[in-house]
């Protein structure tokens, strides 16, 4: 079996509510659906988040055609290594969701040919259920309390909200409202998207701690792990690295600097599983 073509289709998906964070917002997202075709008629499906943009991901996918077309889709490690070394991605220490989408589509081909879900080929499921958190859109404290009550009624045990507004007291009020609406048992995660300075992060998180935080996500710049370690050592809730842990190499640096309690793992931002 050989790969004969790669097709990419951008898809825009609108949100039910606007997503707002410290530095902007969006009304939906764009993904690139990738089809890897083979000479035996089996088509593998992959998906690439449009980071940093759809145009960039589409350009990456075009650049990969010469490296991937003609290859055996079962030889996934060979394909990934060829992209990294011959394609020079390794040399510039960069990756792309486009690479992850190609790998994903190859895994899909493997599963289809074998007639098995990939979880079985990877050794079997570790658990039967995976919990999702409820994403609370940024609104007034009163409206967020109402949304938190709705989330708990729907069975969600973990609530996630963006913080990092220009007025820290508003952030604190929103967290307090979410706690009031969700009750004492729900877990609350806050994400500042790198908006705070180290001193501000420590002060604001300490104000929020009384409402019970499960995680504080990326409170300061991801580019300064020493600052992350400083904040981590001075707050009680666990610190989660997100922007600081896009790739496995980033994650090793975070661990080496003792800069976080938890790392966010994203196979798309890391260029795939291998």
Specify if 127 maps to a domain: no
Say whether both 200 and 110 belong to one domain. Answer: no
Say whether both 205 and 155 belong to one domain. Answer: yes
Per the CB < 8 A criterion, the answer to whether 148 and 211 are in contact is no
Specify if 129 maps to a domain: no
Say whether both 244 and 200 belong to one domain. Answer: yes
Residue 127: cis peptide before it, omega within 30 degrees of 0:
no
Specify if 268 maps to a domain: no
Specify if 7 maps to a domain: yes
Domain with 165 in it: 134-263
d(CA 16, CA 6): 32
User: Tens digits of per-residue pLDDT, 185-213?
Assistant: 999 999 999 999 999 999 999 999 999 99
Domain boundary among 121, 154, 180: 121
Per the CB < 8 A criterion, the answer to whether 256 and 245 are in contact is no
- Give the tokens for residue 123: 């050794």
Say whether both 146 and 116 belong to one domain. Answer: no
User: Tens digits of per-residue pLDDT, 6-41?
Assistant: 999 999 999 999 999 999 999 999 999 999 999 999
User: Tens digits of per-residue pLDDT, 214-256?
Assistant: 999 999 999 999 999 999 999 999 999 999 999 999 999 999 9
Say whether both 142 and 165 belong to one domain. Answer: yes
Say whether both 99 and 43 belong to one domain. Answer: yes
Say whether both 156 and 75 belong to one domain. Answer: no
- As a residue count, the chain comes to 274
Say whether both 145 and 249 belong to one domain. Answer: yes
Say whether both 176 and 109 belong to one domain. Answer: no
């Amino acid at each position: 079996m050989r790969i004969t073509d790669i097709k990419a289709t951008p898809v825009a998906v609108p949100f039910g509510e606007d997503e707002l964070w410290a530095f902007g917002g969006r009304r939906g997202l764009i993904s690139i659906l990738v089809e890897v075709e083979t000479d035996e008629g089996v088509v593998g499906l992959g998906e690439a988040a449009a980071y940093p943009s759809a145009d960039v991901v589409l350009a990456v996918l075009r650049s990969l055609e010469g490296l991937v077309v003609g290859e055996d889709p079962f030889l996934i490690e060979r394909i990934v290594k060829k992209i990294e070394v011959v394609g020079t991605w390794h040399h510039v220490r960069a990756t792309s969701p486009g690479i992850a989408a190609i790998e994903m589509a190859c895994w899909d081909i493997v599963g289809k040919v074998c007639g098995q879900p990939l979880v079985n080929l990877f050794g079997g499921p570790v658990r039967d259920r995976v919990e999702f958190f409820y994403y609370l859109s940024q609104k007034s404290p009163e409206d967020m309390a109402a949304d938190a009550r709705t989330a708990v009624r729907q069975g969600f045990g973990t609530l996630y909200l963006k913080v990092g507004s220009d007025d820290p007291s508003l952030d604190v009020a929103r967290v307090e409202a979410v706690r009031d609406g969700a009750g004492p048992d729900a877990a609350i995660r806050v994400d500042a998207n790198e908006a705070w300075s180290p001193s501000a992060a420590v002060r604001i998180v300490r104000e929020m701690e009384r409402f019970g935080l499960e995680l504080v996500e990326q409170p300061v710049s991801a580019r300064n792990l020493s600052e992350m370690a400083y904040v981590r050592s001075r707050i009680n809730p666990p610190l989660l690295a997100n922007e600081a842990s896009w790739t496995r190499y980033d994650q090793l640096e975070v661990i080496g600097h003792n800069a976080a309690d938890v790392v966010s793992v994203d196979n798309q931002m890391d260029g795939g599983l291998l």
